[in-house]
């Protein structure tokens, strides 16, 4: 029905509610990683320690960096590396005080898939701050059937249990960081991948696991049992337009029911429940060049909980004051 199309578009435009947005904020760039011969440092994920220093993972090498946003000009330094053939790190989540679960693998970034994926423990609990920092790393479990381990989130109240999104297979695993075991916790056609990654960022908030499905073009949630396994069906909360360069990636929750999402190619989007249901709003423009875009965001802690840190595939670490949004 090609001729009906313009009429339908016109009709939809009339039906859309008017969204009056504030001017877009521009996050402040704190630091840019140097570009090497192989390209920019592809920052993938962030964890914020209790002292508000940042742990940054990258797909450009099997490295975790630590960076202190309070001294922005001091270059990040290498906190941990993983042995070859491992070459990239994706999700990171704190599952016990200063104990982090990370996903490491041998990545083909252009193909958006990996082999030899493993979950490692990075233990900073016996480490000092600043330049006294030292990490103890240990491989916890191999996930041989996985092809794209991505976002990781701790399951609150379950010691040592994390959920890990598998963006290629379209499942979420629960990993027991103490016993070194895993099983499928959430399995649904709604998590599936297509010509791009499926379930991507994931975070537990209240009794739900919230997630982005990049291929599916929506932000959704699923009710979970205390142990992190699905207790109901996936709910699609809000959709987004998937374009050649545009897709939602990882996100953070402010704990008040608002979710802040890194959106390629160059924005941060806020999602929350309005009077008439779930809505999304673009709140910041990150200034990325090209097609990479912000990959992940994370909130500061304590006195810094209004600050949202943003990392990008072009190696930038930025800071957005969410009180000004």
Ligand X SMILES: *[C@@H]1O[C@H](CO)[C@@H](O)[C@H](O)[C@H]1NC(C)=O
Minimum CB separation of residue 151 from ligand X in Å reads: 20
Stretch that binds ligand X, among 23-31, 87-95, 132-140, 223-231 (CB under 6 A): 223-231
Confirm or reject binding of residue 110 to ligand X (CB under 6 A): yes
* Strand order across the beta sheet in which 208-213 lies: 199-205, 208-213, 218-223, 235-239
Minimum CB separation of residue 44 from ligand X in Å reads: 17
Looking at the Cβ atoms of 70 and 183, the one nearer to ligand X is 183
Tokens of 216: 């599916």
For every residue of 225-251, DSSP letters joined together read -TTS-B-S--EEEEE----SS-EEEEE
Confirm or reject binding of residue 188 to ligand X (CB under 6 A): no
Stretch that binds ligand X, among 79-87, 224-232, 237-245, 279-287 (CB under 6 A): 224-232
Confirm or reject binding of residue 38 to ligand X (CB under 6 A): no
Confirm or reject binding of residue 229 to ligand X (CB under 6 A): yes
Looking at the Cβ atoms of 166 and 288, the one nearer to ligand X is 166
Figure out which of the listed residues 7, 26, 35, 108 binds ligand X, where binding follows CB under 6 A: 108
Residue 12, SS3? helix
Looking at the Cβ atoms of 21 and 110, the one nearer to ligand X is 110
Looking at the Cβ atoms of 108 and 125, the one nearer to ligand X is 108
Minimum CB separation of residue 145 from ligand X in Å reads: 18
Query: What's the Cα-to-Cα distance from 32 to each of 87, 174, 181, 217, 314, rounded to whole Å?
Result: 21, 34, 37, 29, 8
* Burial class (CB within 10 angstroms; exposed 0-12, middle 13-18, buried 19+) of 109: middle
Confirm or reject binding of residue 225 to ligand X (CB under 6 A): yes
Figure out which of the listed residues 8, 78, 111, 184 binds ligand X, where binding follows CB under 6 A: 111
Backbone CA torsion sign across 45, 297, 183, 114 = negative
> Applying CB under 6 A, what is the total number of residues that bind ligand X?
7
Q: What φ, ψ does residue 9 adopt, rounded to 5°? A: -60, -45
Helix (H) or strand (E) holding 178: none
Q: What is the DSSP letter of 191?
A: G
Contact positions toward ligand X, by CB under 6 A?
108, 110-111, 183, 225, 227, 229
């Amino acid at each position: 029905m090609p001729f009906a199309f313009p009429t339908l578009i016109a009709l939809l435009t009339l039906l859309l509610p008017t969204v009056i947005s504030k001017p877009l904020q521009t996050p402040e760039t704190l630091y840019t990683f140097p570009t090497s011969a192989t390209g920019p440092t592809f920052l993938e994920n962030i964890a914020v320690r209790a002292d508000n220093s940042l742990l940054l993972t990258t797909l450009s090498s099997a490295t975790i960096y630590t960076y202190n946003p309070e001294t922005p000009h001091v270059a990040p330094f290498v906190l941990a590396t993983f042995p070859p053939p491992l070459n990239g790190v994706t999700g990171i989540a704190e599952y016990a005080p200063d104990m982090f679960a990370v996903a490491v693998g041998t990545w083909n970034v252009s193909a958006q898939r990996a082999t030899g994926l493993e979950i490692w423990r990075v233990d900073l609990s016996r480490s000092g701050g600043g330049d006294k920092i030292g990490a103890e790393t240990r491989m916890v479990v191999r996930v041989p059937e996985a092809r794209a381990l991505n976002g990781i989130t701790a399951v609150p109240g379950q010691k040592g249990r994390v959920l890990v999104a598998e963006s290629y297979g379209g499942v979420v695993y629960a990993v027991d960081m103490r016993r070194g075991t895993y099983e499928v916790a959430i399995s649904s056609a709604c998590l599936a991948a297509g010509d791009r990654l499926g379930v991507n960022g994931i975070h537990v908030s209240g009794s739900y696991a919230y997630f982005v499905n990049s291929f599916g073009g929506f932000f959704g949630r699923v009710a979970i049992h205390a142990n992190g396994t699905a207790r109901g069906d996936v709910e699609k909360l809000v959709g987004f337009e998937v374009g050649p360069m545009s897709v939602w990636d990882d996100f953070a929750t402010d704990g008040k029911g608002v979710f802040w999402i890194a959106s390629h190619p160059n924005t941060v989007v806020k999602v929350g429940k309005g009077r008439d249901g779930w809505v999304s709003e673009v709140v910041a423009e990150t200034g990325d060049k090209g097609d990479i875009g912000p990959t992940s965001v994370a909130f500061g802690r304590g006195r810094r909980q209004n600050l949202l840190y943003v990392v990008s595939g072009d190696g930038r670490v930025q800071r957005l004051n969410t009180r000004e949004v």
